[in-house]
Structure 1
């Protein structure tokens, strides 16, 4: 059922559920209107967004969701989604729910209408504590940009107008957690403490790159390390096997093997880091279209090493090594190992994201190599 909000100058404002292929296309296209005059926004690939919101996304194996579009008259002016994730409820309680995919013009009334619609759907499913935005989970894009509007987002990171945070707070939401993005030059000089720690444990740690001939097995190793490493972090929800396999397959031919470094202790994998070329450098030129010629441009720039920046989206050190000197050495080594490979491929700078604001250990490591916090994202929460 659509929810009518008001009627002014013969233009109704209403929020309508997405129930068809055509309506999903409208839902996907709304950011083009919101960011029309924002030179920092990078259009996503429409085809990728279709797949992300389709039944083929393994997230939906353990989650229920609904999407809506807000209209004024016949014009789409905003969107939102609501999700109930079974895995999240197993860890944090049966009364939790999320909102996400939030995009809206700078209009208090329309924004409130979208939030109210999502909240009502969540309430009908037993939600009392709602948080977000998650697009669609904490293992995907999440948060609202609150600092760092003057630079474009890197691949698989969100971008937001300045008005989202204030409008959320007007709707009764409060900040729940800040997520940080750090920026570092690849040709940094390793600090003395880093060299000493690595030298001390270098004989105990063996580094290797991803084995493409055993790709499925390698993905399971990385998933197991990641889920263990992050298991006590705020908001953690484990990657399922299907989710991590889907992520790996989507990036398999875009990421060089040497960009994924695995550290072993006594021949057992215990830490890893993955570097992803910043595909947004290419996507910014495609306006969301991979066909008919966008895919050729993508392949050409990847082969010519034209991309100059990258992102580190995944990293983990097994929990048993946290807060130990060996754990610090593992972190230093997997962070430093891909540097030469990146430099050889023309990478100049890297974003490390995201980092929980209260993850002092990781922030200290990053700052020791000259990395600077340059973007801040915020998650919000509300009791219904």
Structure 2
């Protein structure tokens, strides 16, 4: 039996079931329950301000055995179809199932709801926004994910593909050893940029945090606007993201690049909070909050993830764009290794057709360590 989730109690059951599945999946990292509840709460997550969302749970013999979301991002419907979303495109996410039969029934339920809403195509898994946890893990099951990346049983790939889904896009993350210097060529590019008086690479300023958030997301909305799957941030989402991210922002490993005094690029780096969540099993009480707060003050030896970077479109396909990227990541690498004792970082996700970013990742000798698939199907 598959039933819709329609209230606070149902959302709690939905989150708890997801945590149960995560606990059974090797290398998965339990996330903080309250944070997961907030993401699916229409009163708290501004994504719901431009989206229609329906959650479903599957039960067998009175026992919960699966879950899924079906959702429609109204902003995504307005985008060109060639950019991945577009008119008639709905999505599914938060896919968990005890077995293939349950998975098939959940996908059919989500598809049926989307058809009723007038959708003609489905993409997924995307949970819930493209900016949260997009894609199904299809490579890299042998190690834990970093912050804000999903982790799924290997069996889900065949279950989803078995229901007629085909690959729409692959997202990749790159593993980087930050304990060693970059290749000599990259060092020369960085040194050349440092001698250019027009260029300034600076840390973000937490004293002007709200202004810095606006700067970063202005660049992001411009830089990514032609990318596959791009959906612009709303003002409410910008404010929400700023509030949620501030506790993990360390100025020296988050950089803004300026050209002639104008912000033209940024690179964000998050200490991998999954390091500590594994130790506290995603539980703040009774003592998890103490370990988390202590870790946030000084995330020593933490892995680092670069989830977002962007350069204004006016500089795309220029040597300056790649030079700014190398300069920012060089500064971040130096500070992460020196101040936090970090040994590895993860870059991404990166779209499989983003030749510029893949070239940068290759140039600094990083290697693909995880791949996520986003599937599509006609309804």
The yes-or-no answer on 1:305 pairing with 2:303 is no
Q: Higher mean Cα deviation, 62-71 or 196-205?
A: 196-205
The yes-or-no answer on 1:361 pairing with 2:361 is no
Secondary structure of the 1:168 match is helix
* Partner residue, 1:179: 171
The yes-or-no answer on 1:32 pairing with 2:5 is no
* Partner residue, 1:291: 285
Q: Distance in 2 between matches of 1:302 and 1:171?
A: 43
Q: Distance in 2 between matches of 1:336 and 1:94?
A: 41
* Partner residue, 2:317: 323
* Partner residue, 1:104: 97
**Preserved contact between residue 179 and residue 342 of structure 2 (Cα < 8 Å):** no
The yes-or-no answer on 1:220 pairing with 2:182 is no
Q: Distance in 1 between matches of 2:250 and 2:20?
A: 35
Structure 1 runs of 4+ off > 6 angstroms?
A: none
1:73-222 equivalence runs, <5 A = 73-92=61-80, 93-105=86-98, 107-202=99-194, 203=196, 204-222=198-216
The yes-or-no answer on 1:51 pairing with 2:38 is yes
**Preserved contact between residue 305 and residue 346 of structure 2 (Cα < 8 Å):** yes
Q: CA deviation at 1:304?
A: 4.3
* Partner residue, 2:335: 341
Q: Distance in 1 between matches of 2:25 and 2:162?
A: 24
Q: CA deviation at 1:117?
A: 0.8
Tell me the alpha carbon deviations over residues 294-318 of structure 1, each in whole angstroms, 9 at most, x when there is no partner: 1111012233433421111111111
* Partner residue, 1:5: none
Q: Distance in 2 between matches of 1:89 and 1:152?
A: 34
RMSD: 1.4
Q: Higher mean Cα deviation, 92-101 or 109-118?
A: 92-101
Q: Distance in 2 between matches of 1:292 and 1:37?
A: 23
* Partner residue, 1:4: none
Q: CA deviation at 1:284?
A: 1.1
* Partner residue, 1:276: 270
**Preserved contact between residue 31 and residue 282 of structure 2 (Cα < 8 Å):** yes
Q: Distance in 2 between matches of 1:226 and 1:115?
A: 33
**Preserved contact between residue 189 and residue 369 of structure 1 (Cα < 8 Å):** no
**Preserved contact between residue 255 and residue 276 of structure 1 (Cα < 8 Å):** yes
Secondary structure of the 1:337 match is helix
**Preserved contact between residue 301 and residue 343 of structure 2 (Cα < 8 Å):** no
1:236-247 equivalence runs, <5 A = 236-247=230-241
Tell me the alpha carbon deviations over residues 273-294 of structure 1, each in whole angstroms, 9 at most, x when there is no partner: 0110000011112223212321
**Preserved contact between residue 188 and residue 370 of structure 1 (Cα < 8 Å):** no
* Partner residue, 1:60: 48
TM-score (norm 2): 0.94
Q: Distance in 2 between matches of 1:302 and 1:95?
A: 42
